[in-house]
Amino acid sequence: MKRSPDAGPRPAHLLGSTRNVLAVAGLFVTNGLAVGVFGGSLPGLREHLSLDAGDIVGVLVAAAIFSLVSMNVSGSLADRIGARGPSLVGGVGVTAGIALMGAAPNYLVLLVGAALFGLGNGGMDVSMNALGVSVEQARGRPVMSRLHASFSIGNLAGALVVVVLGRLLTGDESTRWSLWGGSLLAVALLGWLVRAAPESPVRPGTGADGKRGPVPRIAWLLGAMAVCFGLTEGTGIDWSSLHVTDVAHVSASSGAWGLACVSGFMVVIRLLGDAVVERLGRATVVRLGSSCALLGYLLTALTSGLAIILVGWCLVGLGVGLIAPQIYGMAGHLGGGRGLALVVSFGYAAFLVGPALIGFVAAHSDLQRAMLVPVVTAVGLIVMSARLPADSPRQDAAAAHP
């Protein structure tokens, strides 16, 4: 997938400039930071407010419901007014949400904070991906993998905020300041992004009467693929540490190497993935990533030696790290903000439902056999990827803006 010979050098002020790529990456880092602090602080909040498992589920459900609502609203907004504003407003929402959770004196206020976080997270997720697609179209070369790597780096930074402050402070102070510290870092990033974030083009109406037509059919295929990769990726993130601990019969601290393998290799491949996409195309990369994840999950489901299991989780990380940026990228190129919102919503819902499905299978069999579920979804991704069109960023741009 070579860059077109007529692309030529682009002036630095255009949407595809390096400065604008870095600014959009800053949005992804900010979102990842907030999500990492949110997830990392849940155990502390449970202890601080004396919550049970059902209460924590309520917090997650509140965040999820409001995320799904704002995802679909922000997709249409990104098409009508551009993605910059919804991205920044979403950033304010996630920042205010985690700050309110840190100040919550009771469970009701905590739920309000989670809902505010969800509203901001859903809107920011769709809009920053739409903005990334616009930058990629203007640049004429893939950038989505690096942008998703930026999210993973921000996610890791958010988790480290919780870990470091947990060592420096004790009890309730640790949890509160983890959430407040994360919000302060997000505010600092947003202060820069207000000046630096570029604007995406407004998508014109496609119907003869000036109204928007239906979401392209390809978006529904991508949505089905999002369900598969949401479960495939979510299993690795949520269950890898427990799987290593139980199957390899090691300590909980050693079991954490499972998640380290998944997360570490996801970041590495996302930093390198754009070069692979440029050479092979998105559809081929999705097939390769799905095949790699399939092999990794087969190792986790059929072997019990620690070294081989960890190799399996490394392969899972390499594989799933390649998939989501390409599915989201194609959705944005071919379906605009509304198509992207549909696909992100499907993937997000699967990411939430997947852990419960794995838990159900594990309860009726065992955790190792439950790894056959993502084997099935990885096969589904390989099969459906055969229906994807051949692509390049410049071809996608032409399809998105006829």
For residue range 167-193, list pLDDT tens digits in order.
888 777 888 898 999 999 999 999 999
Same domain for 248 and 125? no
Q: At 237, list the tokens.
A: 């993130």
pLDDT attached to residue 163? 77
Same domain for 152 and 228? no
Indicate whether 12 belongs to any domain: no
pLDDT band at 98 (very low <50, low <70, confident <90, very high): very high
Indicate whether 205 belongs to any domain: no
Indicate whether 253 pLDDT > 70.
no
Per the model's pLDDT, the better-predicted residue between 130 and 52 turns out to be: 130
pLDDT band at 264 (very low <50, low <70, confident <90, very high): confident
For residue range 57-93, list pLDDT tens digits in order.
788 888 888 988 898 888 888 888 888 999 999 999 9
Global pTM reads 0.77
Q: Answer whether 333's CB lies under 8 Å from 399's CB.
A: yes
Domain enclosing residue 40, as ranges: 18-196
Give the domain CATH number at 233.
1.20.1250.20
Mean of pLDDT values over 311-325: 92
Q: At 105, list the tokens.
A: 């004196």
pLDDT attached to residue 378? 95
Query: Domain tally for the chain?
Result: 2
Same domain for 31 and 164? yes
Same domain for 133 and 85? yes
pLDDT band at 373 (very low <50, low <70, confident <90, very high): very high
Indicate whether 326 belongs to any domain: yes
pLDDT attached to residue 252? 65
Same domain for 222 and 170? no
Same domain for 229 and 300? yes
Percent of the residues in the chain that have a pLDDT greater than 70, as a whole number: 89
CA dist list (Å): 118 to 64, 96, 101, 125, 341: 6, 11, 12, 10, 15
Indicate whether 211 belongs to any domain: no
pLDDT band at 109 (very low <50, low <70, confident <90, very high): very high
Same domain for 161 and 32? yes
pLDDT attached to residue 213? 59
Same domain for 23 and 83? yes
Interior angle at CA 157, CA 86 and CA 268, nearest 5: 95
Same domain for 320 and 185? no
Q: Which spans in 217-305 are helix H?
A: 217-247, 252-255, 257-280, 282-302
Same domain for 318 and 370? yes
